[in-house]
Amino acid sequence: MATQVTATTATADGRRGSSFLQIAIVLQTLTIFLQAVSAGLLLTSSYGETLHSVGARVMYGASMLYVLAAVLAWKPGGGSARPVWHASGFLVLASIQVVLGIAHVPSVHLPLGVLMFGLSVLALVGHRGR
């Protein structure tokens, strides 16, 4: 009886961790998309720079949340460690993106943003398939 309760609890914890991970990926993907929108506003309006700057901080926070969610889905939930590697790699890309944005290197900053959005969508689709 105790083994059945433990197995049921572990399965419930794994599902919660997986749901949190999915929410984190959705949030990250949405913030990156909003960064693309604010980049367009950056070129056409006076408040675009402020919006893009604030969005960068939110996107970076979403990337950190993705790492936390991946670790929580992996360690206590008993899931795969692969999302932890994906999330960590994404946080590295987000860090590079921030540095390039601050340094005003749009020739690399823009394509990297497109790549990050694509990778985030792939992570979202890949996670939904599990």
Q: Give the span between the Cα atoms of 54 and 43, in whole angstroms.
A: 16
Over residues 13-61, the pLDDT tens digits come to: 556 668 899 999 999 999 999 999 999 998 899 999 999 999 999 999 9
Q: Which of 80, 114, 76, 75 has the alpha carbon at shortest distance from 97?
A: 114
Domains, the chain, ranges and CATH?
2-128 (1.20.120)
Where residue 104 falls (left for φ over 0; alpha for ψ -120 to 50; beta otherwise) is left
Give the tens place of pLDDT for each residue, 55-69.
999 999 999 999 999
Is the CB of residue 113 less than 8 Å from the CB of residue 28?
no
Using one digit for the tens of pLDDT, what is the confidence trace for 52-101? Answer: 999 999 999 999 999 999 999 888 767 788 999 999 999 999 999 999 99
